[in-house]
Structures are given as structure tokens and as C-alpha cells.
Amino acid sequence: MNQRPIYIAIVEDDPEIRQLLTLILNGSPGFSCSHSYPDAESALAGLTHEPPDVVLMDIQLPGMSGIECTQQLRELHPKLDIIMLTVQEENDDIFDSLCAGATGYLVKETPPTKLLAAIEEAKAGGSPMSPRIARRVIGSFHQSPVKSPLSARETEVLGLLCEGRNYRQIADQLFVSTNTVKAHIKHIYEKLHVHNRAEAVRKAMQDKLV
């Protein structure tokens, strides 16, 4: 009945923490620390073949950062689950990590019980995050309370603008004259404080106006 344990690799430069984590993992039934590395370079070298189930990755490492390491590991093993385990709560670190392919993000104060639960959750197809981290991630979706200054028609035109249509094409699609489209776009530029299509599209995408 004994299922095989979850194999875990650790990438962490602090030898004390590394050893502590190893002890916790190997002391818990169902978990096994298969490898541990003090830096990104040796981790990449050691994990090129035989990836573990889950990697615990520190962000601040000597040399290559944990984020860069995550990116490269994911390119080698797209299905590998990597959990960032770090003191950093900086917004950029969080989102850069997620973009690099991290599956979860835990702060280092996480108690051992929760850490083990998180590893199991990741293995089972979840994405463990410390509560405050999760809130920030969710918060990044919340659209800014600034309501769009554009009218419905202008928003429609902006949408077509984002698709690369020219005056003629937009006019045909909306059954109006090109002059009307020009007028709309002029107003859009004024309201968004931009002066050309590229800027308008960028603003539309950033502020989710479309």
C-alpha cells in the first residue's frame, strides 16, 4: 500500500535552512528530499536529467537568481512544479516568478505543516500561495476604479483600432463615413491623452478598456 513518496529538490544558499528543510522533508512520511543545491547553476546541472516532483526554490541566490533558474528549469521540464520559498514579498518578485513558470509562492515563515500541505497541493494540481501573496495576485486582476472615459461608440472604435484596422475598414464595419471614424479617434486620443494609434492600443490593453 506504500505509495512512492513525493521527491523534492531544494535550491537554497543558506546551509542552515537547506539542512532544516531536508530534515523536515525526510522526516515526514510520503516526502523525500532527493537533491539539494546551494545555487542555481548547480541545480540546473544536477536536474537536467531525472527531475524531481517538486522543487523548492529560493529567489535570492548567489549568481543566477531563482527566477532565472525557474525559467530555465521549466524549459527543460515543462511539467515540473516549482514552488518559490522566499522572504521576498516584493510585487516584482512575485509576478516575475509566476511569469517564469513558478507553480506556487510561499513565504519562509510558513510552518512545516503548511509547507508539507503545500507540496502535496502542488503535486495534486493546485497552486499553493501564502495568503498575502494570493491576495496580491488576485488584486492584480481587479480593474482600476477609474471608469473608462470613453463613450460606447468610442470604445467600439478603439477595439477595432487594436485590431489594426484603418479608417476605411472601421468605417465599413460600423456603417459610417471615414470622417466620422476620424472624429471618434480624435476624441479618443484627447480623452486618453495620446497622439497616435500605438499609444492608444497600449493604453487600451493596459487599462483593459477593450
Partner DNA sequence: CCCAAAATCACCCAAAAGGGTAATTGATTT
Partner DNA sequence: AAATCAATTACCCTTTTGGGTGATTTTGGG
CA distance 93 to 134: 14
Minimum distance of DNA from residue 207's CB (angstroms): 17
Q: Which is nearer to DNA, 59 or 185 (CB)?
A: 185
Q: How far is the CB of 42 from DNA (least distance, A)?
A: 23
Q: Which stretch binds a copy of itself (CB under 8 A): 14-22, 39-47, 119-127, 169-177?
A: 119-127
Instruction: Supply the angle between the helices 167-174 and 152-162 in degrees, to the nearest 10.
Output: 130
Touching a copy of itself, residues 66-95 (CB under 8 A): 75, 78, 95
Closest by CA position to 47, among listed 28, 15, 74: 74
User: Does the footprint of a copy of itself cover residue 145 (CB under 8 A)?
Assistant: yes
Say whether 111 sits in a helix, a strand or coil.
coil
Stretch in the footprint of a copy of itself (CB under 8 A) among 23-31, 43-51, 107-115, 197-205: 197-205
Residue 137 interaction partner, one of DNA, a copy of itself, none, beta carbon < 5-8 Å per kind: a copy of itself
In angstroms, what is the minimal distance from the CB of 78 to a copy of itself? 7
The C-alpha cell that represents 153 in the structure block = 461608440
Question: Which DSSP state fits 56?
Answer: E
The answer for 14, left when phi > 0, alpha when psi is -120 to 50, beta otherwise, is beta
Give the shortest CB-161-to-a copy of itself separation in angstroms. Answer: 6
Task: State the angle between helix axes of 178-192 and 167-174 in degrees (0 to 180), rounded to the nearest 10.
Answer: 110
Q: Is the CB of residue 11 less than 8 Å from the CB of residue 43?
A: yes
Under 8 Å CB-to-CB from 160, ≥6 apart: which residues?
A: 169, 170, 173, 174
Q: Which stretch binds a copy of itself (CB under 8 A): 12-20, 108-116, 161-169, 176-184?
A: 161-169
User: Least distance from C-beta 51 to a copy of itself, angstroms?
Assistant: 16
Where on the chain is the footprint of a copy of itself (CB under 8 A)?
75, 78, 95, 98-99, 101-104, 121, 124-132, 134-135, 137-139, 141-143, 145, 161-166, 194-202, 205-206, 208
